[in-house]
Amino acid sequence: MDTTHLPPEVHYHAALDARLVKAAKGIRILAMVSWPAGEEVRFLEAHARGQHYLPHIDYPRRDFTETRHELDRIAEEADEGHPLGQYIAESARSWCTAAAMVEALGTDEVTGHSLELYGGPTEALPGNGPTTRDAAHHFIEIANELDRELLAPCEHVEISATALQLQLQRELDDFFDGRMIEVVLDPDLIAKAAAGATRIRLRHGAAFRDYDRQQLLQHEAFVHSLTALNGRHQAVLPSLSLSSPRITATQEGLATFAEQITGNIDIGRMKRISLRIEAVAMALDGADFIQVFHYFLDAGQTPEDSFTSAQRVFRGVPTRGGHAFTKDTVYLRGLVDVHTFFRWALRQQKLYLCRWLFAGKMTLTDVQRFAPLFEAGVLAQPRWLPRWVERANGLAGMLAFSLFANRIRLESVPEEAAFHDP
């Protein structure tokens, strides 16, 4: 993109954004809060013997003093009266909080930083709705009422990591018309899968299902990786390729919405998301790692999955209780936010905002502020779009029905409802 013709204020903020990218480069939150792989083996071996202990993780001490000073300067120099300046200032402050959080890993201070970055389980949903924790209880109750027989026969069939690698690689190469994302096997990966802008890692030896394949495609590849790749094509704002902490709720909400709208989210997945929210709330209320581990066990998860789930709650924080890494609360809140935004965009005849949301990693507020910049060509249109977004008619049809169906109150329908037969 030729940027020589752009206004001076755009060039000014593009220079600030370049500094932002450089300053944020070394702040890798999820990698820095992760636990060593051997901790799971030790804990589960003790659990099998009927013994339990509170894991203690020694996090390396890090010093981001100069980085934080640079981020503060960037925020101060940005013109918050301009959409680019607002975005850069808010992003710089978010990265600054993230830097302070990783400097404090393992201490009581992390919870406060986490709540500032990601929010917590008591935050209200859009429209002064119920809290995130209330919504989690709703999905847990519904899931508990349903039988596992709802699973289709194919959901019980396991796929090896090697087979899944080949399937994913073929589908991704076809979608991007080339090798934009590489799928690799990683024997040292703690999670079953992890995705970046240009690489999806699968844990070697892990077993997957077809559901996992669709979740990796729709959630990880066609949202997280795709928005990062589109962000790299932004000549003015290359930071749109970064997973800034302030965009987490929108990114995870958008990715979970992608699972939903493509029919690739089930009640089991909603229950797992909701259990994590309740577990975060329990930890904040004083539950320690062992209590949270048993909460997941009692909810029907395997010991391995229960450890992984509890570990997510206690990343970067003391395991004794009263503290939590609150990122998992954004999935459900983000899903409701994004779903509400898409319905609002249809009602306001602004579905183009939903497409622009994939031009990089941004918040729902950002994409509205950026509208004049997209229209003027300052920001580039997304190079790639998920197929469900490209099919505007299908998207509009689903949202239109959702808008109308919400007018029907189930509490007004009698238990033995008289429905219209054809």
Task: Render pLDDT for 344-372 as a digit per residue (tens, 0 to 9).
Answer: 998 899 999 999 999 999 999 999 999 99
* pLDDT tens profile 98-131: 999 999 999 999 999 999 999 999 998 877 779 9
Please tell me the predicted confidence (pLDDT) of residue 13.
Answer: 97
On whether residue 371 sits in a domain, the answer given is yes
Q: Does 98 map to a domain?
A: yes
Dihedrals phi, psi of 45, to nearest 5 degrees: -65, -40
Q: What is the pLDDT of residue 322?
A: 97
Query: In percent, how much of the chain has pLDDT > 90?
Result: 74
- Asked whether residue 270 is assigned to any structural domain, the reply reads yes
CA-CA distances (angstroms) from residue 13 to 270, 327, 375, 406? 40, 29, 18, 42
Indicate whether 400 pLDDT > 80. Answer: no
pLDDT of the residue at 405:
65
What mean pLDDT value characterizes the chain?
90
Higher pLDDT, 34 or 146: 34
Residue 2: inside a domain: no
Nearest to 310 by CA among 116, 49, 131, 54: 54
Q: How confident is the model at residue 194 (pLDDT cuts 50, 70, 90)?
A: confident
Instruction: Establish if 177 belongs to a structural domain.
Output: no
Angle (nearest 5°) at CA 199 between 196 and 204:
110
Residue 281 belongs to some domain of the structure: yes
- Overall average pLDDT of the 172-185 stretch: 95
- How far is Cα of residue 305 from the mean position of the Cα atoms in its chain? 19
pLDDT at 418: 47
pLDDT digits (tens, 9 = 90+) for 240-250: 999 999 999 99
Q: Which residues contact residue 324 at a Cβ distance below 8 angstroms, ignoring those fewer than 6 apart?
A: 111, 114, 280, 283, 284, 313, 314, 317
User: Which whole number is the average pLDDT over 209-227?
Assistant: 92
Number of compact structural domains in the chain = 1
Average pLDDT on 386-393 reads 82
B/e letters for 67-104, b = 16+ CB within 10 Å, e = fewer, are bbebbeebbebbeeebbbbbbbbbbbbbbbbbbbbbbb
**pLDDT value of position 421:** 47
Contact between 189 and 203 under an 8 Å Cβ cutoff? The reply is yes
Q: What value does the mean pLDDT take over residues 242-268?
A: 92
Residue 245 belongs to some domain of the structure: yes
Q: What is the pTM (predicted TM-score) of this model?
A: 0.90
**Residues 18-73: tens digit of each pLDDT:** 999 999 999 999 999 999 878 999 999 999 999 999 999 999 999 999 999 999 99
| 147 within domain boundaries | yes
Q: Tokens in use for 150?
A: 């709802």
The residue segments making up the domain with residue 386 are 8-151+232-406
